[in-house]
Amino acid sequence: MNFFNELKRRNVFKVAAAYIIVGWLIMQVGDTLAPALHLPEWINSALAFFLILGFPLALFFAWAFEMTPEGIKKEKDVDRGESITHITSKKLNGTIMALMVLALGYFAFDKFVLDPGRDAAEIEAAIQTAQESVPKPTATENENSIAVLPFVNMSSDEEQEYFSDGLSEELLNLLAKIPELKVAARTSSFSFKGQNIEIPEIASRLGVANVLEGSVRKAGSQVRITAQLIHAEDGFHLWSDTWDRELENIFQIQDEIAAAVVDSLKVTLLGETPKSTQTDPEAYRLHLEGQYFTYQRDPEALRRAIDLFKQAVEIDPGYAPAWAELAFTYQWYTGSGNMPIAEGAAQWKKAIKMALAADPEYGWAHFVRGVSLINFEFKIQEGTEAYLRAYALDPGNAMIAAGRGFVAAILGEYSDGLRYSEAALALDPVMPELHTYVASAHWGMLQFDEAITAFRKALELSPGYPGNFQRIARILLQQGKPAEALEAANKEPSHIYRLTSQSMAHFALGNSAESDRLLEELIEIGAEVAAYQISQVYGMRGDADQAFEWLERSYANRDSGTINVVGDPSFFSLLEDPRFEAIVEKIGLSEAWRNLPPEWGGPRP
């Protein structure tokens, strides 16, 4: 206690307080002045070092020495009766108060005057850095770029909107066949439909220099089409025109618009301007209406699209686009569990055959054939060749471009899958499927945070997108976060995917009874269409016999999920079972599995 009182008498505490306040002020002033004076960054570090070094020296000085009227003396040489420490204490009180007022004043000045300007400068620097990190296109590449916005339906019948949308997409696809022209993909361009956004802003978001927009008015067999090409930077109309024609002249109009765009942008072509695929006007109308319903993806719309495409090919059996879309729609309809796979496969195989017979150079038909060969027939090599052929014929189609990434991923070549998927994403940054492909490649390489981010981006673009909450839940299970996994599983919109991930999460949480109940429900509703998901649940549980029994069913049913077995974490605990190698061999993925690192699901050493 005497020592504490002696510290107080010698004003050690007050010297410490004064030193700390003065030190803080010096550091703040240094922090402000150093950038202004262009001093090196180490100056403030050196200043802090010497201030810290000086603190114990100041305390020692306060303890060992005393200020007297005759100057500084050692404390032991000063008679207690002549000591003036009490006077020095009062002076220190005043000094500390003055320093505190000064410190508060500087704090307010820094907070409300200097800080906003400093923050703005930092934000501006960050924006500039981000902009500089994005590769800038060359002037030629930038000028030879275009987005085709959905043409406005000016018809009195709102149901004619399918025609204006379809015409816009046909123009987009026609222009995308020109290698020298960069064309924003459909999903990205159509994302601005119905929004009141200025052309320069749209062009900036899509990374193009020009925008084609227009309107369509259809009445019976008469059609009026207005189109205009706008240079986004200055809003200058490079070209505009209006056509009043019979519907049978629609293909000539499309060709004229494409030629006018090429001429206006002064694009130097290595070949001829592509031409529209000709067909009967009514078959064309039915084809456009079918596309409109296919994009809606729900079972009723898909069924209606199938009927419309069938009517189109009845009118013109040689119309390749309608045959290819019929095949693709059957794949969606069947893959969603609305039709037995064998029945659906018979329909889409016939449609693919007819599409390629009508036009062997039609890229989309080769893509749909690749989907059939890989996802449902497990003919990996043939399917890969079909995807590559599609890409060679139509590299501007984002879905076709993504096919290369899909093939690489199922072969366990995740880095290539990521590269190809990101390239496809650059063509169409708002297509949720492409973000899902990117996420799956990250997931295969165990890059969990990147995978979850990409899956969530797909869900932001399409909140009802099936399967991605289930995939997020399974990643969280891999990370040892079953409670968070269950939260994600509960948000899954697809009933089958929801039951799959919920059963897994409850099992990981130790809720075996609830996990069993959910699995029983999954088996009851999904035995024919979800055998692969059932095998995943058993695989995650470590029930090898049931997992392989349902994998065999999945293979027999031609369940499209079966193709994902290599690298699927649900089966990591079963990799040393000889039955796993047998099923992989049967699917045609044994080489891909053997080349996979053990940590990614390859053979154990």
> Under a CB-based contact definition with an 8 Å cutoff, are residues 147 and 208 in contact?
yes
- H-type alpha helices, 180-296: 186-190, 199-206, 250-264, 281-294
Residue 58 has pLDDT above 90, yes or no: no
Residue 540 has pLDDT above 90, yes or no: yes
Cα torsion at 362, 363, 364, 370 (round to 10°)? Answer: 120
> Under a CB-based contact definition with an 8 Å cutoff, are residues 426 and 442 in contact?
no
Please count the other Cβ atoms lying within 10 Å of the Cβ belonging to residue 523.
16
Instruction: Give the pLDDT confidence score for residue 349 in this predicted structure.
Output: 96
Percentages helix, strand, coil for the chain, rounded to the nearest 5? 70, 10, 25
Q: Give me the mean pLDDT over the 19-42 stretch.
A: 70
Confidence of residue 128 (pLDDT cuts 50, 70, 90): very low
Q: Give me the mean pLDDT over the 569-597 stretch.
A: 94
Specify the higher pLDDT residue, 414 or 128.
414
Residue 554 has pLDDT above 90, yes or no: yes
146-155, 240-249, 278-287, 537-546 — which is least confidently predicted? 240-249
> Under a CB-based contact definition with an 8 Å cutoff, are residues 486 and 509 in contact?
yes
Instruction: Give the pLDDT confidence score for residue 450 in this predicted structure.
Output: 96
Please count the other Cβ atoms lying within 10 Å of the Cβ belonging to residue 490.
13
Structural domain boundaries in the chain: 2-132, 140-267
Specify the higher pLDDT residue, 79 or 547.
547
b/e map of 64-90 (b: 16 or more CB within 10 Å)? ebbbeeeeeeeeeebeeeeeebeebee
pLDDT in tens, 148-160: 999 888 877 676 7
Percent of the chain whose predicted confidence (pLDDT) is above 70: 83
Helix (H, G, I), strand (E, B), or coil: what is residue 228?
A: strand
What's the CA angle centered on 307, arms 255 and 170, to 5 degrees? 15
Residue 500 has pLDDT above 60, yes or no: yes
pLDDT in tens, 411-470: 888 999 999 999 888 888 888 889 999 999 999 999 999 999 999 999 988 888 889 999
Confidence of residue 481 (pLDDT cuts 50, 70, 90): very high
Residue 70 has pLDDT above 70, yes or no: no
> Under a CB-based contact definition with an 8 Å cutoff, are residues 228 and 242 in contact?
no
Q: Give me the mean pLDDT over the 508-525 stretch.
A: 96
90-104, 198-212, 425-439 — which is least confidently predicted? 90-104
Instruction: Give the pLDDT confidence score for residue 82 in this predicted structure.
Output: 61
Specify the higher pLDDT residue, 117 or 577.
577
Confidence of residue 267 (pLDDT cuts 50, 70, 90): low
CATH topology of domain 140-267: Rossmann fold (3.40.50)
Nearest Cα to 165, choosing from 197, 145, 191, 203?
191
DSSP bridge partners of 67 = 72
- Residue 28 and residue 111: Cα distance in Å, rounded? 12
Instruction: Give the pLDDT confidence score for residue 327 in this predicted structure.
Output: 96
DSSP letters for 35-71:
HHTT--THHHHHHHHHHHHHHHHHHHHHHHEEEETTE
Please count the other Cβ atoms lying within 10 Å of the Cβ belonging to residue 152.
17
Instruction: Give the pLDDT confidence score for residue 306 in this predicted structure.
Output: 96
Confidence of residue 123 (pLDDT cuts 50, 70, 90): very low
> Under a CB-based contact definition with an 8 Å cutoff, are residues 411 and 592 in contact?
yes
Helix (H, G, I), strand (E, B), or coil: what is residue 210?
A: strand
Instruction: Give the pLDDT confidence score for residue 189 in this predicted structure.
Output: 85
Confidence of residue 543 (pLDDT cuts 50, 70, 90): very high
Instruction: Give the pLDDT confidence score for residue 77 in this predicted structure.
Output: 64
Instruction: Give the pLDDT confidence score for residue 155 in this predicted structure.
Output: 79
Residue 148 DSSP code: E
Residues 6+ apart with CB under 8 A from 603: 575, 581, 593, 594, 596
Specify the higher pLDDT residue, 578 or 132.
578
pLDDT in tens, 337-372: 778 888 999 999 999 999 999 999 999 999 999 999
pTM for this model (two decimals): 0.68
- Residue 281 and residue 242: Cα distance in Å, rounded? 20
Q: Give me the mean pLDDT over the 305-324 stretch.
A: 95
- Residue 406 and residue 324: Cα distance in Å, rounded? 20
Query: What's the distance, CA 162 to chain centroid?
Result: 28
DSSP letters for 530-583:
-HHHHHHHHHHHT-HHHHHHHHHHHHHTT-GGGGG-TT-GGGGGGTTSHHHHHH
Distances from the Cα of 459 to the Cα of 107, 134, 306, 452, 600, angstroms:
45, 25, 27, 11, 25
Confidence of residue 115 (pLDDT cuts 50, 70, 90): low
Residue 382 has pLDDT above 80, yes or no: yes
Q: Give me the mean pLDDT over the 204-216 stretch.
A: 88
Instruction: Give the pLDDT confidence score for residue 112 in this predicted structure.
Output: 59
Residue 8 has pLDDT above 80, yes or no: no
Q: What is the mean pLDDT of the chain?
A: 83
